[in-house]
A and B are shown apart, each in its own frame.
Chain A
Amino acid sequence: MQISSMHFKARATQKLADPDLREALNGLKQRFVPGRAAVIAELDNFEEIREAAAEIRRRTLEHLDFFLETFERKATERGAVVHWAQTWQEANDIVLKIARDNGVRKAVKSKSMVSEECALNDALEGAGIEVVETDLGEYILQLGREPPSHIIAPVIHKTRDQVSDLFAEKHATPRKTDIGELTREARERLRPHFLQADMGITGANFVVAETGSTLIVTNEGNGRMATTLPRVHVAITGIEKVVPTLEDLATLLRLLPRSATGQSISNYVSVTTGTRGDDEIDGPQAFHIILLDAGRSRILASEFRDILRCIRCGACMNHCPVYQSVGGHAYGWVYPGPMGSVLTPNYIGLENALDLPHAATLCNQCGVVCPVKIPLPELLRKLREKQYERGLRPKRERAALRCWSFLAAHPRLYGWVTGAAARVLSWMGGDRKRIASLPFGRGWTEGRDLPAPEGETFRALYARRGAR
């Protein structure tokens, strides 16, 4: 996927002007925020489960090498082939090699954000292999040649009307507006692809060390078809997704769908272990699991390790006032919202995503809803510190900060300057006691007035009171 994280500010401005996006994002908020709240309320020990889940993720990351090797051994015992990819390019090359070795001409895909990181579809198409996205949202995006804007609801930025237009155009069928009919039309288009495909490509929400299984959480059933119908199944995921045991998995699954879509459990939870056995009628003949690093081991060794606990539920973005305002495309790469603003600079480089750590009010709504207790605002703040240390912030901003800390460290000078500022700003406020335009604060005054100060500082008034 093309990286345009450098342009968050400009893209955000553009997105704010899109009334369809506003309607779509409002729908997301109305659905996911109360939905999550309702199913969380069903649990009488949510905080305990949350702590347990965070602890499972912490412990796993602490011994990541051990659990990954255990997973590799167990998966291999069951007939799967485990591949290690250090980079996105390596992951794509592995998939292409598997495709070549197996004479694959068509692949069906279940939703995978890791494959978006790798731009796997482009690689497959470049090699002449037809690839079809089968998650309804991803299918719509593939038709419209757009990237996802949300990690679990990829097409959330589109309204129903836009989808109606797209289907009518691309399917060359009469325009339909009923969601049921639109879905049926997509199913009819997808069904032959499932039956013809030589390869099924999925992600994995988790991989289980104890059993060598991969797991996907889905709602549409397409994932289950992609893992069982084609003769080759390729599961691609990040190395951080391993969990030690099925029991640990059960704990995490109590939180993932609840935090994501507000479901106590998703329609499908598919655990895939090994290839088709001699006495079995379903399942692939070959099962390849690609475990991708692409920056994860570097993050593991850094002060940003906590972000690797992420289980990709999307709750942080659903609850983020910034995401709710601008949507996912403004963030410019695969992962949007608070988790994305931490991951993106870590994956693609701090200097390639300068705005993202600052594109947050630090309201901590994300930290409060995160099912594995990732301190997202703290990590964003750390990224800001890194930018400051490396001199990546604008000169004017640095000068202003230095000026402020110098001033605030010298109380007499501070008193004089703030006293003067209070008088000047109060005078500027005039009779209406507010300032409509500030030359050095246009970011503020373009959308808001600045209420004017009263005219004297507290310090001055208090000192006078004491003297009396």
Chain B
Amino acid sequence: MRVGLFVTCLVDLMRPRIGFAALSLLERAGCEVQVPGTQTCCGQPGYNSGDRAGARKLAEKLIAEFEPCDYVVVPSGSCAGMIRAHYPELFSGDPPWLARVERLAAKTYELTDFLVRIAKLDSVPGEYHGTVTYHDACSGLRELGVKAQPRAMLAKVKGLRITEMTEAQACCGFGGTFAVKFGDVSTRIVDVKCDGIAAVKADAVVLGDLGCMLNIEGRLRRRGDERTQVLHVAEVLAGAGRGSS
């Protein structure tokens, strides 16, 4: 099966290793992975800020790039949710596009969701000798139902133990531009998340979205926590993280 990997703008810019980790997992699952070279952004910043026309332009570009693939896989619940849950709304009232959008939406998956439900990957190369806690990012959880999938995949990682924090499903306070517009409110929200992480004394918090990752890591470090690792689930599964010890 031909799988198009949409690495997302934040992985591209901030954490390329997560993109390569996703790529290696998909290849391990036997997928023929294509990475369209012109990919950029799914349009979510514009969509959530009221710039519908700007969002639509980027959505059209992404659709054209990924249409030929059998599946589209995204190492982010937020960007996958944008395509799956919000593109159809963005193109509602435009039947020719809507048909294309719905086809694409139906074959778009968040990475762990794809590995569990479609690729049925049964072993992973990653090793992590320590305890991790999983943060459920909002869009993945509430738009795509990604909850059991990352935990099922992490359970296959040699040496890794999962411990659940309270309110794993609560928002970390990132919210895209919210974190900059209302920086102090956002900081209070992420503090609650950091308290939850600190309380379980895990070696790492693992998650599936770059926005939450930058937010939680940035706040943990500012609070003086130099110990707790913040890792994307792809890097833990692929064994590409700093954390494999």
Contacts and interface: CB of A to CB of B under 8 A. Distances in A.
B50 A386 contact: yes
Contacts of A59: none
> How many interface residues does chain A have, given as a range?
35 or more
A23 B51 CA distance: 38
A176 interface: no
Contacts of B215: 448
A9 B221 contact: no
Interface in B5-48: 7, 9, 11-17, 19-20, 35, 37-41, 43, 45-48
Contacts of A362: 48, 138, 175-176, 178
B174 interface: yes
B14 A401 contact: no
Interface string B64-94: 0000000000000000000000000100000
Contacts of B125: none
A302 interface: no
Given A322-B185, A405-B58, A446-B183, A367 B142 contact: yes
A446 B185 CA distance: 11
A219 interface: no
B43 to A, nearest CB: 7
Given A363-B138, A385-B52, A450-B218, A443 B180 contact: yes
A79 interface: no
Contact of B57 (A378, A405, A443): A405
B171 interface: yes
A414 B177 CA distance: 20
A454 B16 contact: yes
B149 interface: no
Interface stretch (B112-120, B156-164, B187-195, B199-207): B187-195
Nearest to A368: B142
Contacts of B148: none
A420 to B, nearest CB: 11
A381 B16 CA distance: 30
A443 B15 contact: no
B184 interface: yes
Nearest to A322: B185
A434 B218 contact: yes
Given A361-B171, A361-B175, A385-B52, A448 B222 contact: yes
A10 to B, nearest CB: 11
Interface in B199-235: 213-215, 217-219, 221-222
Most B-side CB within 10 Å, residue of A12, A449, A463? A449
Contacts of B175: 360-363
A381 B86 CA distance: 11
Nearest to A375: B89
Contact of B12 (A9, A446, A458): A458
A358 B13 CA distance: 26
B126 interface: no
Contact of A361 (B40, B178, B183, B218): B178
A9 to B, nearest CB: 7
B173 interface: yes
Interface stretch (A83-91, A260-268, A272-280, A387-395): A387-395
Contact of A453 (B13, B142, B188): B13
Contacts of A386: 50
Most A-side CB within 10 Å, residue of B13, B143, B175? B13
Most B-side CB within 10 Å, residue of A12, A358, A368, A407? A358
Nearest to A434: B221
Contacts of B20: 458, 461-462
Nearest to A361: B175
A13 B215 CA distance: 19
A389 B54 CA distance: 12
A457 B12 contact: yes
Contacts of B98: none
A365 B170 contact: yes
Contacts of A463: 37
B182 interface: yes
A416 interface: no
Nearest to A386: B50
Interface in A381-419: 381, 384-389, 393, 397-398, 401-402, 404-405, 407-409, 411, 414, 418
A387 B39 CA distance: 29
B131 interface: no
A448 B50 contact: no
A335 B16 CA distance: 44
A411 to B, nearest CB: 4
A381 B143 CA distance: 15
Given A13-B184, A365-B170, A405-B57, A444 B16 contact: no
Nearest to B51: A401
Contact of A16 (B14, B39, B185): B185
Contact of B46 (A405, A442, A454): A405
25 contacts: A9-B182, A12-B185, A321-B173, A322-B189, A325-B188, A358-B181, A363-B175, A365-B138, A367-B142, A378-B89, A389-B50, A397-B49, A404-B46, A405-B46, A408-B9, A409-B57, A409-B58, A447-B219, A451-B213, A454-B15, A454-B16, A458-B16, A458-B19, A459-B37, A461-B20
Interface of B: 7, 9, 11-17, 19-20, 35, 37-41, 43, 45-52, 54-55, 57-58, 61, 89, 138-139, 142-143, 170-171, 173-190, 192, 213-215, 217-219, 221-222
Given A324-B192, A360-B175, A449-B219, 5 more contacts: A434-B221, A443-B186, A444-B180, A448-B222, A454-B16
Closest 7 CB pairs of A and B: A361-B175, A447-B187, A388-B50, A443-B183, A405-B54, A448-B218, A384-B50
Interface of A: 9, 12-13, 16, 321-322, 324-326, 358-365, 367-368, 378, 381, 384-389, 393, 397-398, 401-402, 404-405, 407-409, 411, 414, 418, 421-422, 434, 436, 441-444, 446-451, 453-454, 456-459, 461-463
